[in-house]
Chain A
Amino acid sequence: MDQISQLLLVATVFLGFALLGSSSMSGCVNLLALQGYCLSVLPFFLHHEEHSARAVLLAAGMAFLKGWLVPRILLHAIREVRIAREVEPLVGYVPSLLIGVVIVGLSVVLGQRLPLPPGNHSGLLVPISLATMMMGLFLTVSRLKALTQVIGYLVFENGIYLFGLLVFRETPWLLEMGILLDVFAAVFILGIVIQHISRQFDSIHTDKLTQLKE
């Protein structure tokens, strides 16, 4: 069981790297979907005794939302607004990957310094959650297109979800549903705004959004 959870965590961080280096928009969305699936099954292997109806429900909700629905909305947006399929990063792919390596190193150091409560969670959980968050933030600031910024935001959100698994058993399921619902609503609204941006500017480059400044 532990090996599977380790494997899933490592897969999550690898998918993060793949996102940093991927040049195709729809490829990025697929990677994001895969990361969503990894996260959704992770709780089963992380907490051995958790096979309650609630855990299953939550995993199903997570898989449906982050693995299927959100990527579907994003792919729809790509098709709808006929975006060129290229990611067009502000920071090149190779430097991005190198920054990713630095991020992972940093997270491992940080993760070791945090005084974790005793429990049967994997030692990899905290560093990988931190790394995923930072990769997400980096993707958000280093990519030009509105859609890739959303992908970055979602990766960041995934990192926070991973961190939340530390306190998984204690948080009421209603709360987790609320959090999932909020994420969904955020993506939905972001999707609508992207469509407005593309209609208004004939492009989804956020560098067109420069009228408001001091």
Chain B
Amino acid sequence: MELLGIILVPLAASLAALAWPDAKSRPLLLPAAAGVHTLLTLRLVAAPPAAAYGAWLSLDALGLLLLAVSSLVSLGCNIYGVAYLRGHSERDNRFFVACTLFMLSASSVVAVTRHLGLMWVAMEATTLAAAPLIHFQHSDRSLEATWKYLIMGGIGIGLALLGTYFLALAGAGNPEGYALHLDDLLALGPRLSVPWVKGAFVFILVGYGLKMGLSPLHSWKPDAYGEAPGMAGAALSAILTGCSFLGLLRAYQVCLAAGQVEFVRDLLVFMGLLSLLTAALFMLSQKDFKRLLAYSSVEHMGLLVLGLGIGGTGIFAALLHFVNNGLGKGLLFLTAGNIHRAYGDKTLNHVHGALRRVPVSATLFLVGAFAITGSPPFGLFISEFLLLTSAAGAGRWAVALSVAGLLGVIFIGMAGAALSVAQGEPPAKPLCQEQGESLLTTMVPAAFAVALLALGLYIPPWLMDRLGAAAALLGGTRP
């Protein structure tokens, strides 16, 4: 019942948005649908249903994790969206609202299906739904970003489909025919054909990794995140990347069952380190604070696959990090959007003194910048620390040391940029009405900040249980 609800409610709201005649009241559909979605998700989190074997829609612990994060982030973004779209009343918001809701619906399908084919179809739907969000500004630059996103995303998703077919072929030896359901693939386990499983993982890593924005497949990401409105950037970096991460986790599960996990781990660690290195290099020289956030996303995606590659408690750390990263990106992109609006500019050379111009947003942006780089007492500190200790515990000292070093460099890049935005002389030109911050545009990021702080101080036992169950599916252990 809830499973259908989380898919159909946003879908119906999305169709309603297309038909809704009044542009002023249309954005109200966003929080309404997301609110219902969150309520249904909370019910699922409170009492997770048992995953039905072989059903098209069935929720397991991993899907639940993605569902919970995307529901919370999209609720925040959609509440914020009401204020954002009110400030952009000159532009037609019909497709923006419809696509935001459609993306939520499609990402719910990704979370609640364990059929890898259906998952792919929904994944492609999320990819396409994001394109109008990136293009919302209708400028030369956003057009360029959209084009790059579509062509690269299209090829990435195509390669992921190829990887999915490979998985089907891997199970060809068994009498019941090809399998694309995760349950069937896991049941086949060691009987899966090894070369096809390996090939499938490589293609899925490249395909979904491109959508996650792992280096060296990340080149579309700074463009898309830089040009998309803040709320779309938050949705992209928490929901879209989360969906592709789940796709990767599914392939990992199959490799685990097939006994090929050693081969996979080295690949993941390599991609993770490369992403961290890329992020560190580009963040130091970045001149645009929204693009900076995109590289921060590359960094965190790298940390996720790194944790997966380390294994053991590293997997638990990666999943905890996934939750923290979603909240952190929500906080940062929404406040960055506020600052961008207050200055009409997002280059670090021109944006100074935000603490005086938009005090609440600038404070939250600073908090977010420190939180996302893993400073205590925020949630990301816990997950990154756990990741490092898992790497060290697994005897991978070289990995642990290089991660710590790169995180240090990234901290310098991020903190330097955030401080330069917050401090200094604000421009003399006074702020006009629609450029300022409102209760609505600061309340949501503040809520994300509080949640991040809470997760840094105390992880409730039920969350530990859910994360532990999810990590167990991937062969990970609770710390």
Interface residues, chain A, with chain B CB atoms under 8 Å away: 114-117, 119, 133, 137, 140, 146, 149, 153, 156-157, 160, 163-164, 166-167, 169-172, 175, 178-179, 181-182, 185-186, 189-190, 193, 196-197, 200-201, 206, 209-212, 214
| Cβ 8 A contact of B146, one of A116, A175, A193 | A193
| Cβ 8 A contact of B168, one of A114, A140, A170, A178 | A170
Q: Within 8 Å CB of B125, what residues of A?
A: 182, 185
Give A206's nearest chain B residue, CB to CB. Answer: B147
Residue contacts A-B, CB under 8 angstroms, 21 given: A115-B193, A117-B172, A140-B155, A153-B154, A156-B155, A160-B161, A160-B162, A166-B169, A167-B168, A167-B180, A172-B117, A179-B124, A179-B161, A182-B125, A182-B128, A189-B150, A193-B150, A197-B143, A212-B148, A212-B222, A214-B285
In B84-132, which residues have CB < 8 Å from any A CB?
Answer: 117-118, 120-121, 124-125, 128, 131-132
A18 to B173, CA, bound (A): 38
- For chain B, what secondary structure do more than half of its interface residues adopt (helix, strand, loop), or is it mixed? helix
B265 within 8 A of A: no
Give A209's nearest chain B residue, CB to CB. Answer: B144
Q: Within 8 Å CB of B161, what residues of A?
A: 160, 164, 179
Take A115-B195, A196-B143 as given contacts and tell me if A179 and B151 are in contact as well, using a CB distance cutoff of 8 Å.
no
B360 within 8 A of A: no
Q: Within 8 Å CB of A115, what residues of B?
A: 193, 195-196
B158 within 8 A of A: yes
A206 to B173, CA, bound (A): 46
A211 touches B140 (CB 8 A): yes
Interface residues, chain B, with chain A CB atoms under 8 Å away: 117-118, 120-121, 124-125, 128, 131-132, 135, 138, 140-141, 143-148, 150-151, 154-155, 158, 161-162, 165, 168-169, 172-173, 177-180, 193, 195-196, 199, 222-223, 226-227, 282, 285
- Max chain A C-beta neighbours (<10 A), residue from B118, B154, B178: B154
A212 to B125, CA, bound (A): 26
- Given A115-B196, A209-B148, A211-B140, 18 more A-B residue pairs with CB atoms under 8 Å apart are A115-B193, A116-B169, A146-B147, A164-B165, A166-B169, A167-B180, A175-B118, A181-B121, A185-B128, A189-B128, A189-B150, A190-B154, A193-B146, A200-B140, A211-B144, A212-B141, A214-B222, A214-B282
Give B282's nearest chain A residue, CB to CB. Answer: A214
Separation in Å of the B397 CB from the closest CB of chain A?
32
Separation in Å of the A4 CB from the closest CB of chain B?
24
Take A115-B193, A115-B196, A186-B124 as given contacts and tell me if A167 and B144 are in contact as well, using a CB distance cutoff of 8 Å.
no
A146 to B121, CA, bound (A): 25
| Cβ 8 A contact of A182, one of B124, B146, B169 | B124
| Cβ 8 A contact of A196, one of B135, B158, B180 | B135
Q: Within 8 Å CB of A186, what residues of B?
A: 124, 128, 150, 154
- Max chain B C-beta neighbours (<10 A), residue from A114, A153, A206, A211: A211
A212 to B165, CA, bound (A): 35
Take A178-B121, A212-B226 as given contacts and tell me if A201 and B140 are in contact as well, using a CB distance cutoff of 8 Å.
yes
Take A153-B151, A170-B177, A171-B117 as given contacts and tell me if A160 and B172 are in contact as well, using a CB distance cutoff of 8 Å.
no
A170 touches B227 (CB 8 A): no
Take A167-B178, A171-B168 as given contacts and tell me if A193 and B128 are in contact as well, using a CB distance cutoff of 8 Å.
no
Take A115-B195, A179-B121, A185-B128 as given contacts and tell me if A193 and B155 are in contact as well, using a CB distance cutoff of 8 Å.
no
B147 touches A167 (CB 8 A): no
B155 touches A117 (CB 8 A): no
Closest 5 CB pairs between A and B? A117-B172, A178-B121, A170-B178, A209-B144, A182-B124
| Cβ 8 A contact of A197, one of B128, B147, B168 | B147
